[in-house]
Amino acid sequence: MVASRPDPETSALPLDTLGRPLRDLRISVTDRCNFRCTYCMPREIYGQSFEFLPQRELLTFEEIERLTRVFVSLGVTKVRLTGGEPLLRKDLEDLLAMLAAIDGVDDLTLTTNGSLLAKKAQVLADAGLKRITVSLDSLDDEVFGRLNDAEFPVARVLEGIEAAAAAGLSPIKINMVVRRGENEQSIVPMARFARERGYILRFIEYMDVGQTNGWQLGEVVPAAEIVERVGSEMPLETVAATYPGEVASRWRFSDGSGEIGVISSVTEPFCRTCTRARLTAEGQLFTCLFGFRATDMRAVLRDGVTDDELADRVATIWRGRGDRYSELRSAATSDLPRVEMSHIGG
């Protein structure tokens, strides 16, 4: 067995070709989702005839736990479960309990669309989940419905957020993808809502992940504009990053009533500090959100390797990593194949 927590004073933890350590692991537990958000899973592509992964091809909970232990031995301290919609994965709380028991996982969290959260928030908390992030792109039902394309009302997402707060999942973060011509009018109302309730709102520039959402640069609302819109109504001041590799630029309300963040991978790339690895639901290891090359860790797992051999494989992959897609984004890179957001988990 590999050690669960490395000692940074005595361990030669892997660094990639740009000197970036491995600190964060994002694990997609399913490629399925009950929303059809236009920027992620457009219905014209992901319709009734779309074939999702069969259960037998998904990593088992035991395989996910084993891989997580290996990643922790290489420096990972933060683990986030994603999807698709992760709460669609049956008995997810069992996996959470397994991951929460790993020495070295200091931050265990999950990103959800909130549709099932009202029913599951307490169960998730009891299993060991510490905090949660909920995706919500508008408080306006018409706007939200147009974006999620599933006729799902805002009120039910808010019920889930309230249930999460009651279950002690804190701090609660809300992710809002901002797309020009769709929901930029919701920026200030969302900021005001989060401020009044003590939630942390993260605005996300509309990104060119995958190739099915018809991304256009003109649909990106730049981080600077987002901050200006919020600041004109509720004065802001900058906040220093809380840890190396934090992707959101943080701003606090000047009256001390909370903060917002902006994830600006299009207009202000942060590739140089990226410490994230990503596992898809069937065990493909990607070292970039915009990646198109992956390593099949499921095949490696099921080939009878030892934990030390697994760790060597992952360390070798990380040491060879040179990804910085957002810094290089151009007309040339726009034609490169990229994994879809619903598959890699954001």
Task: Residue 204: count other Cβ atoms within 10 Å of its Cβ.
Answer: 25
* pLDDT at residue 344 greater than cutoff 80: no
Do residues 297 and 67 lie in contact, with contact meaning Cβ atoms separated by under 8 Å? yes
Domain spans of the chain, in order of start: 24-344
Q: Domain 24-344, CATH 3.20.20.70 — does that match?
A: yes
Q: Give the model confidence (pLDDT) of 282-298 as tens digits.
A: 999 999 887 778 999 99
The mean predicted confidence, pLDDT, of the chain is 90
CA 81/CA 142 separation, integer angstroms:
29
**Is cis: bond before 54, omega within 30 of 0?**
no
Q: Give the model confidence (pLDDT) of 253-266 as tens digits.
A: 999 999 999 998 88
- What confidence score (pLDDT) does residue 8 get? 46
Do residues 62 and 31 lie in contact, with contact meaning Cβ atoms separated by under 8 Å? no
pLDDT mean over 240-244: 80
At 251, give phi and psi (nearest 5°). Answer: -140, 130
CA 264/CA 220 separation, integer angstroms:
10
Q: Are strands 249-253 and 236-239 parallel, antiparallel or unpaired?
A: antiparallel
Q: List the beta strands (DSSP E) in the chain.
A: 24-28, 78-82, 107-112, 131-135, 172-178, 200-205, 236-239, 249-253, 259-263, 276-279, 284-286, 295-296
Looking at the chain, how many residues does it have?
346
Grouping H, G, I as helix, E, B as strand and the rest as coil, residue 161 is helix
CA 70/CA 315 separation, integer angstroms:
10
Do residues 341 and 40 lie in contact, with contact meaning Cβ atoms separated by under 8 Å? yes
- What confidence score (pLDDT) does residue 112 get? 98
Lowest mean pLDDT among 275-289, 296-310, 314-328: 314-328
Give this prediction's pTM. 0.91
- What confidence score (pLDDT) does residue 346 get? 60
Angle, helices 92-100/61-73, rounded to nearest 10 degrees? 30
